A and B are shown apart, each in its own frame.
Chain A
């Protein structure tokens, strides 16, 4: 749905993007993690060409944006929703007026606009606040308006620029849950950038980590968990330093891993440490196990074969 290749962008001597390739599949929630200054914000703003990259190609929903003229680009942008860290709502317009704005830009008629606005406000649970001004809303409500506005024009893609960074933890969770629901119900593809691990864990199917203008690592989260030496997995699921005689395994698709090992190989499996959380609604993480018994070698071979063995510390 979103493909970015060879993206480079420099501001004077500062290189913000140093050859970035990224692919986000249809219906996927893709998170880019990085510290401030890593280039993730520039990357996101290059996807809808708010920033024009010095080099590289951006394709969204089959259209090569970097090849479009100004008018075509404006039309293409109408199909790319965006939500912002500080909401970027129009203070002079009501909630309904804000949601109607992209429709006005597109030239949608008054009646159709009113219908669509009501639909969107229902979707984000703000139907009763249609006449309120943004200044009268809480942060979470403002971001809901932002989401309703971003989706009003029925975009195929939603870009999220640190959308929850200005919100408290409980509100963050409810906004993330909303994004996840929209992703499922509407088949919406979401590309989000964040500096918070929790955001990645809560909603993302896939993730990338950025530093110094490059993508250091990227992939579906279950794959990353099973990748030895993965920095992203280690940051998302930090484990204490390894003890002798333990192994680290990825917990993702195979939820009954432990009982299966015990049954099949007649081994005892003890958990020495673990970091497991709900990732996109499914328990995932890493476990450090101490496997003992006659079948230990066979059990380890099984794990290795399935690509679940991340570390052997024996």
Chain B
């Protein structure tokens, strides 16, 4: 396979991966961040302790995290149909990707929020700050470097998950590697795809690390 044959395939696949990872990252933050705040807040000694709520949330999150992504992707097909009107394609892949990444990211958010010192939260309470103020102006800003680090790990995980999206016609770099590299013995394309994936993950990680470092004033 020549470079001019591979190039359009690679561009298309990279674009599909970018779309899947981009949208699912957005939705993951949208749902995972509040979920993570709830996980941390409802804990004993948290900002709004509610052991029963926490147990339920924890259970849901653990169920989500215990399913291998490829199984989850098939299992949530009915949900995908309701949300996107279709069960195949790049847009349809965003649904399982989001569902797979939300529990993962929520746990990372929970951990990052826990790192914020109890004394800082109490100092804010002593100043008369309410819970909403404490979450918005103390917990989240203080945990921001950790949140960014968690988001970076989540993006890398999403890139990895998105490689399986070929199963439901989502396309992307992983699908390209399977269809050409594996099924058609196009070793060159396989190698190039691997290189592209490595470079993309490296870029994501480097960027995430740089932002986290920039935000940290510890």
A interface list, Cβ under 8 A from B: 48, 50, 73-78, 80, 82, 84, 86, 88-93, 101-102, 104-106, 133-135, 149, 153, 159
Verify A82–B142 contact, CB threshold 8 A.
no
Which 10 pairs across A and B sit closest by C-beta, in order of nearness?
A88-B123, A77-B128, A78-B128, A133-B217, A74-B128, A88-B119, A82-B126, A102-B127, A92-B141, A105-B129
Given A133-B217, A135-B217, A135-B218, are A90 and B138 neighbors across the interface (CB < 8 Å)?
A: yes
Residues of B within 8 Å of A78, CB to CB, are 127-128
Query: Is B85 close to A, CB under 8 A?
Result: no
Residues of B within 8 Å of A104, CB to CB, are 137
Verify A90–B141 contact, CB threshold 8 A.
yes
Number of A-B contacts (CB under 8 A): 62
Query: Is B51 close to A, CB under 8 A?
Result: no
Verify A153–B127 contact, CB threshold 8 A.
yes
Verify A91–B217 contact, CB threshold 8 A.
yes
Q: How far is the CA of A180 from the CA of B128 in the complex (A)?
A: 25
CB distance from A250 to the nearest CB of B (A): 37
Query: Is B57 close to A, CB under 8 A?
Result: no
Query: Is B122 close to A, CB under 8 A?
Result: yes
Verify B144–A92 contact, CB threshold 8 A.
yes
B interface list, Cβ under 8 A from A: 117, 119-120, 122-130, 133, 137-138, 141-142, 144, 215, 217-218
Which partner residue on chain A sits nearest B133 by CB separation? A105
Q: How far is the CA of A90 from the CA of B125 in the complex (A)?
A: 13
Residues of A within 8 Å of B124, CB to CB, are 101, 105
Q: How far is the CA of A84 from the CA of B123 in the complex (A)?
A: 8
Which of B127, B141, B217, B218 contacts A77 (CB under 8 A)? B127
Which partner residue on chain B sits nearest A73 by CB separation? B128
Residues of B within 8 Å of A75, CB to CB, are 128
User: What are 16 A-B pairs at a CB distance below 8 A?
Assistant: A50-B125, A74-B130, A76-B128, A90-B120, A90-B142, A91-B142, A91-B217, A91-B218, A92-B144, A92-B217, A102-B128, A105-B124, A105-B127, A105-B129, A105-B133, A106-B128
